[in-house]
Chain A
Amino acid sequence: MLRFILMRLGKAAIILVAILTLNFFLIHAAPGDPAAVMAGEAGAADAKFIAQLREQFGLDKPLLTQLAIYLKGVLQLDLGYSYRQQMPVADLIFSRLPATLLLTMTAFVISLLLGTVAGVLASARVGKWSDTAISTLALLFYATPLYWAALMAVLLFSVYFNWLPGFGYETVGANYTGLRRVLDIGQHLILPATTLGLFFMAVYMRMTRASMLEVSQLDFVKTARAKGLKPSIIQRRHIFRNAMLPVVTLAGLQAGQLVGGAVLTETVFAWPGIGRLMFEALAQRDYNLLLGVFFVSSAMVLLFNLITDILYRFVDPRIRVA
């Protein structure tokens, strides 16, 4: 197990270096002076700052030397300085990271949980009205733009009904502490997490339903029936566990989309995470910050992948033992 995790971490490290290299070349491929690109919108930064950037990243040296300087910087957790926000990029990102982790993890759990439950229900009632209802709903969620769902949720649940807050991470100025604060954040979390999870819920539901139906046709299910087992046990012990394998794989693959989707959700809900930071960087053309966020969100995806891989090994003995 440890060996497996080490191996996966090694692989993740290689991917991260590849992403950094991509980042580096993107800055150089962008139209205009790399120093200006890194500083932000042309003309916004003063000449002194640009000169400092040239110095720091050795922009007059050969390209590969620059790459080495860049990679070395990142290893020391130096992602550069945001001229716009007057703060080191790494500090900015790390101060915003917890909010995003909270949001994406919650959305992930909600979507996986509700998605599989709905999928199992639908598969058990295949062809009946409840299956049709669940499947139709999934089809709609699957086609709904994430940000639009978020906007409509705000419109409905916070503007019209005034049930839930549709803005921010906690009530501004209330200065809650302890449990009150947790509850307050939880309240603020409901709409963003649900709307972010909606699409993925649909994905998992469809996958679970299809997978349950497919597994129920397999030979070992017939064996289980031939033993005289109750349908509920067959469903749970034989069909469900096997049906979850492709769902877990898919969940790992979808993690990247979830992190990407957070940009939209955080923008709509003014959720103070790295997604919102990315939007701010876009608006201010702060490319260095943009690339920093891109790098960190990729790292988050790798983390999600690692978790699902471990989960998968836990479920499937063929991979664990072999």
Chain B
Amino acid sequence: MTDPVLSIRNLKVALPEGADRDFAVNDVSFDLYPGEILCIVGESGSGKSMSANAAMGLLPDLVRPVGGEIIFEGTDVLKLSEAQMMKLRGKKVAMIFQEPMSALNPLMRVEDQIAEVFEAHNLLTPRDRAKRAIELMTEVGIPDPEKAARAYPFQLSGGQRQRVMIAMALALEPSILIADEPTTALDVTTQAQILELIRNLQEERGMAVMFITHDFGVVAEIADRVAVMQYGKIVEAGTADDVLDNPQHEYTRKLIAAIPKLAAEAGAAAAGKTPILEVEGLNKTYVTGGSLLFSKPRIVHAVNNVNLTLAEGETLGIVGESGSGKSSVGRCLVRLMQPDSGTVRLAGHDMAQLSGAALREARKSIQMIFQDPYASLNPRSKVGRIIAEGPMAHGVSKTEAYGRAVKLLEMVDLDALAIDRYPHEFSGGQRQRIGIARALALEPRVIIADEAVSALDVSIQAQVLDLLADLKERLNLALIFITHDLRVAAQICDRIAVMQNGKVVETGPAHAIFNNPQSGYARTLIEAIPGREKELAAAG
């Protein structure tokens, strides 16, 4: 094998005092070879981006390397002065980030931001820089590059912004590209395109890519070699095939087992069961911008003539990318949003027509579980009150409501003592369980889960999904599961509705949708799921 282009030896990176552990990176060693993609995988807090940031000399304030070395082209990067580092950055080692919106200066035109890379290293004339910027934008596949070059970041889509970031990183043909979760903020189809772009560029140029991610699907899609990190240490490293197919370390095995499998089971079809929720002709438009007199408003048809039925005891998945209107549908159903037209028949009432006390009463049978485990619980209320508040608002006595809260906490596998504690004392997964207990407090018949596991690490995600499936069974609940993550949908849903631009483009049993999608969009979506091919190959 050739010599590594980057060699990290016994790296130790210290966290500031008062952090949950002393070292973000503790005695980590690995090599990065030319022409390979090395994925560093780990859950949040594993320290997976720290070694990359250390190699760029871009660690956050108060976080500093305290031991080991990072050898690039024969010298230890950690010993370089800031001026020497500046020569390296952008020219030899380039980096792209997770949030392409915030990673670009909102006040500068895109071409100027690309041209800046040449300027930083005193290359080319201003004129040639602008020309190269457009060439680079063409190369990374931005449509109409001349026009896009004059644009400001806010005028581009998320995928285009990430392409701009990549163009910037490639400008000086660096030997190493560090990609820090570059597709996490993107929709699944855009993610697939960006992954392909990175792979292609890497092969053309023979770059070494250090790709940091939390997503094993992405790893399967792109990695040559993998290093798995936990609590600041590498627990397992090897070729992608070895690690994915034959994980040695217990943690890796646990992580891989926790990934929802794509194989949706046939059967369990809801045929013949009575529908509990029927949605007909639901519409919702937003008007954004525009003032009374002058500017033209923009009209967005967020929900466009949507029809859905949900049978008793069934789980219906609503999947789609951001902006598809899937969340708006959920919010219209519980009337957090007022639909423009359509009926929402729930247990004999039309939810869309009710108001005031009648609406409050009807809402008892349809409750919601939210996405953000931090924002979904009032930080100033104790857990007991959070759960008991609903029943109390409906006239249940305080003693009875708190008694019920204790039972509910046990039902979601939390200690009954939790009622006297505040939300901030719990972890993300535990908070999500509290949110579930709250939704159950009013003994609903339908629960809407809006991206309920999206903010959780994969191992926690698996536990919460199991809990939901179990509760659904025991309490005979009907569930509407709104998600952008098709793997999650495949695991939990009986039927699936695929949404795009406010419309339902396809509905059907989960296994049918995954194995034989009828609409073009559903097919694109499913083919874009990272790691799918590998999984199919392994299964088949």
- Interface residues of A, Cβ cutoff 8 Å to B: 3, 7, 10, 218-220, 222-230, 233, 237-238, 241-242, 315-318, 321-322
Contacts and interface: CB of A to CB of B under 8 A. Distances in A.
Given A222-B97, A321-B152, A227 B90 contact: yes
Nearest to A238: B105
A227 B97 CA distance: 13
Contacts of A224: 105, 116
A222 B58 contact: yes
Contacts of B165: 223
B424 interface: no
Interface stretch (B81-89, B236-244, B246-254): B81-89
B50 to A, nearest CB: 14
Contact of A318 (B91, B95, B103, B106): B106
B4 to A, nearest CB: 22
A228 B99 contact: no
26 contacts: A3-B294, A7-B294, A219-B97, A220-B103, A220-B105, A220-B106, A222-B58, A223-B97, A223-B103, A223-B104, A225-B89, A226-B56, A226-B90, A226-B94, A226-B95, A228-B86, A228-B88, A228-B120, A229-B120, A237-B105, A237-B108, A238-B108, A241-B107, A316-B107, A317-B107, A322-B154
B102 interface: yes
B276 to A, nearest CB: 44
Interface in B322-376: none
A220 B95 CA distance: 12
| Most chain B beta-carbon contacts within 10 A, residue among A218, A223, A229 | A223
Nearest to A226: B95
Contacts of A242: 105-107
Contacts of A237: 105, 108, 116
Contacts of A228: 86-91, 117, 120-121
Contacts, number: 80
A33 B393 CA distance: 56
A226 B293 contact: no
A233 B120 CA distance: 9
B194 interface: no
Contacts of B87: 228
A304 to B, nearest CB: 22
Nearest 6 A/B pairs, CB to CB: A228-B90, A228-B89, A219-B102, A227-B90, A229-B120, A228-B120
B458 interface: no
Contact of B102 (A220, A321, A322): A220
Interface of B: 56, 58, 86-91, 94-95, 97, 99, 102-108, 116-117, 119-121, 152, 154-155, 165, 168, 289, 291, 293-294
Contacts of A321: 152, 155
B116 A227 contact: yes
Contacts of B104: 220, 223
Contacts of B152: 317-318, 321
A239 to B, nearest CB: 10
A291 to B, nearest CB: 30
A233 B103 CA distance: 17
B90 A318 contact: no
Contacts of A317: 106-107, 152, 154
Nearest to A241: B107
Contacts of B106: 220, 242, 317-318
B155 A227 contact: no
A226 B116 CA distance: 11
| Most chain A beta-carbon contacts within 10 A, residue among B56, B90, B107 | B107
A317 B105 CA distance: 11
Nearest to A223: B103
Nearest to A218: B102
Given A223-B104, A228-B89, A7 B293 contact: yes
| Most chain B beta-carbon contacts within 10 A, residue among A228, A230, A321, A322 | A228
A3 B295 CA distance: 9
B358 to A, nearest CB: 41
Nearest to A10: B293
Nearest to B155: A321
| Most chain A beta-carbon contacts within 10 A, residue among B56, B108, B121 | B108
A3 B121 CA distance: 43
Contacts of B97: 219, 222-223
Given A219-B97, A242-B107, A226 B102 contact: no
B242 to A, nearest CB: 32
A227 B107 contact: no
Nearest to B151: A321
Nearest to A220: B105
B236 to A, nearest CB: 29
Contacts of B58: 222, 225-226
Nearest to A229: B120
A226 to B, nearest CB: 4
Contacts of B293: 7, 10
Nearest to A244: B107
A2 to B, nearest CB: 11
Nearest to A216: B61
A241 B88 CA distance: 26
Given A3-B294, A225-B89, A318 B154 contact: yes
A207 to B, nearest CB: 18
Contacts of B105: 220, 223-224, 237-238, 242
A227 B117 CA distance: 5
A7 B292 CA distance: 10
Contacts of A315: 107
Nearest to B118: A227
A216 to B, nearest CB: 10
Nearest to A221: B105
A238 to B, nearest CB: 5
B107 A222 contact: no
B322 to A, nearest CB: 19
Contacts of B89: 225-228
B398 to A, nearest CB: 44
A228 B117 CA distance: 7
| Most chain A beta-carbon contacts within 10 A, residue among B94, B97, B120, B155 | B120
A288 B152 CA distance: 52
A238 B58 CA distance: 17
Given A7-B291, A224-B116, A228-B121, 10 more contacts: A7-B294, A223-B97, A223-B105, A226-B94, A227-B90, A227-B116, A228-B88, A237-B105, A317-B152, A317-B154
Contacts of A233: 120
Nearest to A239: B105
Contacts of A10: 293
A219 B180 CA distance: 12
Contact of B86 (A219, A230, A322): A230
A16 B99 CA distance: 45
Contacts of A218: 102
A162 to B, nearest CB: 48
Nearest to B112: A237
A180 B56 CA distance: 60
Nearest to B57: A225
Nearest to B91: A228
A120 B105 CA distance: 19
A62 to B, nearest CB: 31
B146 to A, nearest CB: 17
A16 B378 CA distance: 43
Nearest to A215: B105
| Most chain A beta-carbon contacts within 10 A, residue among B99, B116, B291 | B116
